[in-house]
Amino acid sequence: MMTAVGNIFEHIRRDAVDEECTELVAAEGVRIERIVSTGQASPPGFWYDQEWPEWVLLLSGSAGLLFEGEPAPRELKRGDYLLIPARKRHRVEWTDATELTIWLAVHYGSLSRSESLKTKSSSTHSLTLG
């Protein structure tokens, strides 16, 4: 097995219009990705509703994450992390437009390799500039 080596803060397009998702590790039952946001938010009316849990860590920037049924978004800043349970509907209300917002996302559980690829391609286009 080859050892993967890289730097989470390298190879980032700072002028990207769309959110950038980079798969770092994928195996049966787990996918780890870096997500770089530059002011994007979920489109109006769109909610993530995933069949698996997701643990996220904000490495830089800030974001507002709204969970269905909560009155206001949870504000996340550098160093904050949270666990999003499976089937917990949520959306990205905003990400910092002046500083890169870099997320480390760990998807795990019943996630298969084919689900990993399907979700990766669909989630890449789900956030828009606010």
Residue 73 lies in a domain: yes
Nearest in space to 102 (alpha carbons), one of 72, 62, 51: 62
- Local confidence band at 111 (pLDDT 50, 70, 90 cut-offs): low
Q: Looking at the predicted structure, is the pLDDT value of residue 121 above 60?
A: no
Mean per-residue pLDDT, 58-71:
98
CATH label of the domain that carries residue 105? 2.60.120.10
Residue 13 lies in a domain: no
Q: Which residues of 17-39 are buried (b: 16+ CB within 10 A; e: fewer)?
A: ebbbbeeeebeeeebbbbbbbbb
Residue 44 lies in a domain: yes
Taking a C-beta distance cutoff of 8 angstroms, is the pair 106, 80 a contact? Answer: no
Q: Which domain holds residue 96?
A: 20-129
CA–CA separation, 45 and 11 (whole Å): 32
| Percent of the chain at pLDDT exceeding 90 | 74
What does DSSP assign to residue 110?
S
What does DSSP assign to residue 68?
T
